[in-house]
Chains A and B, each alone.
Chain A
Amino acid sequence: MKSFFESKGFRELLRIVLAVTIGLALGFIITLFVSKDPVGAYKSFLLGPISRLNRIGDWLEESLTLILLGLVICIVFGASQWYIGVEGQMVLGAMAAGCVALYVPIPPLPRILLAFLAAMIVGALWGLIPALLKAYYNANELVTSLMMNTVALKIFEYILKAFIMTPKSRSISSELIEKPFRLPTFIPNLPFLQGIREIWMKQTSVTIMVYIVIAAVIIVYYLLYKTPFGYELRTVGLNTKFAHYGGINVKRTIIMSILVSGLVAGLAGAHLTLAIHNKIISNMTSGLGFEGINIAILAGNNPLGVPIAGLLYGYLRAGSDVMERSSDVSRELVFVIQAMVLLLVTAERLLPTIQKRVADIKENSENGTNGKPDVKNVKEGDSHVA
């Protein structure tokens, strides 16, 4: 039996932790050069996000969005579709959720449910054009989805300015969604949790979206690794010709992968309006859509790794906010750290090579008798006739 410490999951985790540590160390060296108070700046960066309750809340909320976006990319990249239309799907999803929450005159519970549904459907449908173009005309989905992003953002701003903005509002935004139609806080209203709940609610607004995101992670994992659709998707992603030869409907799988990812992207959009901003505002997504790619890379494209990657990445982002506000170091430094971390993680060969080098050195010094890996022998005397 393999112990946890030899398992692939552990190695993966080790790799990420190592990458982050090295990235942070390099970041600190740079800070030494650019800041008058490097220690203070770095402290605000590293500890800022957890120094106050409201900051913890902000960190968690942004991480939830990032986790959903990471899932989106796990799905499309799993099918080897270089589809990056998440931004567009998310922004229109946010718009749909907002419109339902603001204007559909039905009671709170069905209204919230309908808002989610609308966001997800809009998100999925917005992927349809690049998906069809790819499946039937082999149009490069990277290009088409990028273009669709621009279109979506323009449509969003147009609807916002032409129909939703009221003359008296001071910013480019809708009115606030009324309290009963927002998502409730994630701490259940139980007697023994009353105290915590109140303190928490005063400071932050982390909502029941936490549970929805956890459910989404599990569902996407099961979808990709335990269902026929997931099998088709991964097989198409690994070798399209083999999938076709084996009888898988490649076109349908490509289309479905983008549509399903759109459901999740729409969900992320709903999260923006119903939980974070509580209204529709201009420039709502601000490039968040592309961060999903980084999350998925960090997570090695595995849905179960996405929450960790999302929290980690969200932490770096939150820390950079704090640092920028409370020191003379700008957030660009954090981009450098992020880039370092991603590079180190993607350099997949790095860790195995290091391990090997270390093993070599060890072996030489011990004269090569110990430290040999466990040998699980190939079946001996295996013959070809059953």
Chain B
Amino acid sequence: MKPIVEMKNIVKIYDNGVVANNGVNFTVNKGEIHALVGENGAGKSTLMKILYGIEQPTEGEIIIDGQSVSFKSSLDAIDHKIGMVHQNFMLVPSFTVAANVVLGNEPIKNGFIDKDQVLKVTKELSDQFGLFVQPDAIVDGINVGQRQRVEILKTLYRKAEILILDEPTAVLTPQETQDLFKAIRTLVQQGKTVIFITHKLREVKEISDRVTVMRHGKMIGTVDTKDVTREQMANMMVGREVFLNITKPPMKRGEKRMEIKNLSYISETGRPVLQDVSFNLYAGEILGIAGVEGNGQTELVEVLTGLKRSAGGQAFVKGKSVLDHTPREVRQQGVAHIPEDRLTNGVALKESIEENLIVDRYFSAPYKKGMMLDYRLIENKGKELIKQFGILTPNGKLPVESLSGGNMQKVIVAREFSSNPFVLIASQPTRGIDVGATEFIREELVRLRTAGCAVLLVSADLSEVMSLSDRIVTLYEGRITGVFPDAAKVGEDELGLYMLGIKHQTNEEMEKFL
């Protein structure tokens, strides 16, 4: 096979002095699926942004198909048949799927956009590559999996031969991931080349032909995937041994910390999303919610943390009602919250890291001193958290947007974990985080729980729910379908049946364990 992409000696120094790529050599062969892995902030996205022309390298050479190129912008890259789907999607929400696919290059008839043709080409592309979408649906109303397919179609419409997918599976359910992999295989069969960034080493094994590992902006090596194990890859990434499975001390269950009774929620469109949900949360335990995404988990968390109004029911912390109270009031009862959608809820991208770390506490001592905020203290506390949680940044005064995706997540985790929570509600806490940091966050979660915190864990990653939880509740179409008092004793297949609503426990069966 001959190389289609060769990046030689790439150096990238951002304006703020961060060396994101430091002499990287990266080669991709035509027609292969090439995985790119590395810790958060290793420089993967940066390298791909350089290949796609969004960032310009400080030094180095790029050769596409034997021809030396220099990209001023992504338009140049598109001319060389390179396409990229970003970690954060970039679609126009108010447009239809088809309009987004052809955006910037619409088929024209008589001086106007040819609407029929737009729908037709989208349909054709979608069929050709097995990327199912509904061409006339509005993007705002479709889920992440579909949005991602739209992004991929968009690159294909622009005749991309080399596709870069930046953490495509971080936002997908296991089923959607399988669909995506099928589509990727179809693409490669038709002669395309795919570069694929992920933190999930299992996926690397499953789909890629070769894998390249980066660490601290440097290239560690490229190997044939079949020649390495997951443990070896993790080792290359982190530079030390990583424990993919964690051990936790036995549970010491304490008093009841949160009580949820007959909770229901109705969506803006009038659909009942949560119906009659009741359970208790105890000190010293991790209660995992297992469910296929879209069965009410998101809403459950948002209602409990004050972001959404319930349609009935009750919730108490320390005997005080917290349902339909403001987020501030909920937080003042000691509830911390790691939100699912980190970019919209979890951080203010243009605000400094330091200031992002104090949003739940700035109004009280010691942060507030007299009428002023004590910015020296804020800076020092920021430094402490940056160190403690290994947030990769030269300076806490930089805006959060200058961090890599996984490090943004660490900012949120650092803030919520350090609030000394009474109850912690964690939604997808390790989404988009590298193996090393995932291990760290999982350990921290267990440490909090062992120290007596009550933890509610929601994750699309079933293996995460199963390995961390002490007790598991399954959710299907907004109802609890089963409760498993000892998470260690239940199998994945068994859980699956309850998650898909095929099996139900009766109320009597569940009552004593909820």
Write the nearest CB–CB distance from A14 to chain B, whole angstroms: 15
Interchain nearest-CB distance for B451 vs A (Å): 16
Structural contact, A239 and B392, CB atoms closer than 8 A = no
With contacts A241-B344, A242-B347, A383-B390 known, is A228 near B363, CB below 8 A?
yes
Q: List the A side residues contacting B344 at CB < 8 Å.
A: 239, 241-242
B 304-325 binary contact with A (CB < 8 Å = 1; else 0): 0101000000000000000000
Complex partner residue of B326 from A228, A249, A381, CB under 8 angstroms: A249
Query: Contact at B351–A234, with CB atoms within 8 Å?
Result: yes
Whether A385 contacts B346 by the Cβ 8 Å rule is no
Q: Are A242 and B345 in contact (CB under 8 A)?
A: yes
A56 to chain B, nearest CB (A): 37
From B58, B328, B392, A378 is in contact (CB under 8 Å) with B392
Which residue of A has the minimal Cβ distance to B342?
A: A242
CB–CB B372/A242 < 8 A: no
Contact A238 B390 (CB under 8 A): no
Q: Is the CB of A247 within 8 A of B331?
A: yes
Could you tell me if B371 and A382 are in contact, using CB atoms closer than 8 angstroms?
A: no
Which among A247, A376, A384, A385 has the greatest number of chain B C-beta atoms within 10 A?
A: A384
Specify which chain A residues have a CB less than 8 angstroms from the CB of B500 in the assembled complex: none
B200 at the interface (CB under 8 A from A): no
User: Taking the complex as formed, is A368 at the interface, i.e. its CB lies under 8 A from any CB of chain B?
Assistant: yes
User: A247, A249, A379, A386: which contacts B360 (Cβ < 8 A)?
Assistant: A247
Q: Name the CB-closest residue of A to B307.
A: A245
Q: Name the distance in Å between A236's Cβ and chain B's nearest Cβ.
A: 9
Q: B216: which A residues are within 8 A, CB to CB?
A: 378, 380-382
Please tell me if B89 contacts chain A, counting CB pairs below 8 Å: no
The interface residues of chain A lying within 8 Å CB-to-CB of B355 are 231, 235
Query: Are the CB atoms of A246 and B360 closer together than 8 Å?
Result: yes
A5 to chain B, nearest CB (A): 16
Q: For residue B240, which residues in chain A have a CB less than 8 angstroms away from its CB?
A: 383
Determine whether A36 belongs to the interface, using a CB cutoff of 8 Å to chain B: no
Contact assessment for B328 and A375 in the assembled complex, using a CB-CB cutoff below 8 Å: no
Contact with B along A92-114 (1 / 0, CB 8 A): 00000000000000000000000
8 Å CB interface, B388-427 against A: 388-390, 392-394
Q: Is A372 an interface residue (CB 8 A)?
A: yes
Residue from A226, A356, A378, A386 in contact with B387 in the complex, judged by beta carbons closer than 8 Å: A386
Q: Does A210 belong to the interface (CB within 8 Å)? A: no
Q: Does B440 contact A (CB under 8 A)?
A: yes
Contact (A384, B394) CB under 8 Å given A227-B371, A245-B307: no
CB-defined contacts of A238 to chain B, threshold 8 Å: 348-351
Q: Closest A-chain residue to B337, C-beta based?
A: A245
Residue on A nearest B441 in the bound complex, by CB? A384
Residues of A within 8 A of B392 (CB): 378-379, 382
B399 nearest CB neighbor, chain A only: A238
A:344-386 near B, CB below 8 Å: 352, 356, 368, 372-386
- B348–chain A nearest beta-carbon distance, Å: 4
Query: Could you tell me the dominant secondary structure of chain B's interface residues?
Result: loop
Among B41, B216, B387, B389, which residue has the most Cβ atoms of chain A within 10 A?
A: B216
- Give the A-B pair count, Cβ closer than 8 A: 114
Report yes or no: A239 in contact with B19, Cβ–Cβ below 8 A. Answer: no
Which residues of the partner chain A approach B371 to less than 8 Å between Cβ atoms? 227-228
B368 surroundings in chain A (CB, below 8 A):
228
Count how many chain B residues have C-beta atoms less than 8 Å from C-beta atoms of the other chain.
53
Q: Is the CB of A385 within 8 A of B328?
A: no
Instruction: Give the distance in Å from the alpha carbon of A239 to the alpha carbon of B344 in the complex.
Output: 8
Answer whether residue B17 sits at the interface, using C-beta atoms and an 8 A cutoff.
yes
**Residue among A238, A242, A244, A381 with the most chain B CB within 10 A?**
A242
Min CB distance A158 to B, Å, is 40
Closest B residue to A376 by CB, please name it: B17
Tell me whether A244 and B347 are in contact in the complex, defined as CB-CB below 8 angstroms, given that A226-B373, A228-B362, A385-B440 are known contacts.
no
If A235-B355, A245-B339 touch, whether A377 touches B362 (CB-CB below 8 Å) is no
Does A243 sit at the interface, judged by CB under 8 A? yes
Chain A residues with CB under 8 Å of B389's CB are: 384, 386
* Contact code string A194-205 (vs B, CB < 8 Å = 1, else 0): 000000000000
Which partner residue on chain A sits nearest B339 by CB separation?
A245
Residue of A nearest to B375 (CB): A226
Residues of B within 8 A of A247 (CB): 326-328, 331-332, 359-360
Please tell me if the beta carbons of B436 and A377 are within 8 angstroms of each other in the complex. Answer: no
> Closest residue of chain A to B371, judged by CB?
A227
Residues of chain B within 8 A (CB-CB) of A222 are 372
B14 CB to nearest chain A CB (Å): 9
A245 to B415 Cα, complex, angstroms:
13
Neighbouring A residues of B373 by C-beta, 8 Å: 226-228, 230-231
- Minimum CB distance partner of B56 in chain A: A356
A340 within 8 Å of B (CB atoms): no
* B15 cross-chain contacts in A, Cβ below 8 A: 352, 373
- Say whether, besides A368-B59, A385-B440, A241 and B345 are in contact (CB < 8 Å): yes
- Flag if B347 contacts A231 (CB, 8 Å): no
Task: Tell me if B137 is interfacial: C-beta within 8 Å of chain A.
Answer: no
Cβ < 8 Å to A, chain B residues 40-62: 41, 56, 58-59
B457 contacts A by Cβ under 8 Å: no
Q: Which residues of chain B are within 8 angstroms of A380 by Cβ–Cβ distance? A: 216
- Whether B246 is near chain A, meaning CB under 8 Å from some CB there, is no
A342 within 8 A of B: no
CA distance A238 to B352 in the complex (A): 11
Question: How far is A385 from B262 in the complex, measured between Cα atoms in Å?
Answer: 41
Q: How far is the CA of A169 from the CA of B27 in the complex (A)?
A: 86
Task: Indicate if the CB atoms of B13 and A375 lie closer than 8 Å.
Answer: yes
A248 at the interface (CB under 8 A from B): yes
Min distance, Cβ A141 to any Cβ of chain B, angstroms: 21
Q: What separation, in Å, do the CA atoms of A381 and B440 have in the docked complex?
A: 16
Please tell me which one of the listed residues B19, B346, B350, B387 contacts residue A245 in the complex, with CB atoms under 8 A apart: B346
- Measured CA separation A368–B363 after assembly (Å): 50
- A243 partner residues in chain B, CB cutoff 8 A: 348, 359
Chain A residues within 8 Å of B339, by CB: 245
Given contacts A243-B359, A246-B360, A372-B13, A377 and B19 within 8 Å (CB-CB): yes
B359 touches A384 (CB 8 A): no
Q: Closest residue to A2 on the B side, CB-wise?
A: B17
A249 to B329, CA, bound (A): 11
**Cross-chain contact B345 with A245 (CB below 8 angstroms):** yes
The smallest beta-carbon distance between B191 and chain A, in angstroms, is: 35
B287 to chain A, nearest CB (A): 22
Least Cβ distance of A155 to chain B in Å? 35
Contact for A226 among B327, B358, B372, B437, CB less than 8 A: B372
B55: min CB distance to chain A, Å: 11
Instruction: State the B residues within 8 Å of A (CB).
Output: 13, 15, 17-19, 39, 41, 56, 58-59, 216-217, 238, 240, 305, 307, 326-328, 331-332, 337, 339, 344-351, 355, 358-360, 362-363, 368, 371-373, 375, 387-390, 392-394, 436-437, 439-440
- 9 extra interchain contacts, Cβ-Cβ under 8 A, other than A242-B359, A247-B326? A226-B375, A227-B371, A230-B373, A235-B359, A244-B327, A245-B327, A378-B393, A383-B238, A383-B390
A interface residues, Cβ below 8 angstroms from B: 222, 226-228, 230-231, 234-235, 238-239, 241-249, 352, 356, 368, 372-386
17 contacts between A and B (CB under 8 A): A226-B373, A238-B350, A239-B348, A239-B351, A246-B327, A246-B359, A247-B327, A247-B332, A248-B359, A373-B13, A375-B17, A375-B19, A376-B17, A378-B394, A383-B390, A386-B388, A386-B389
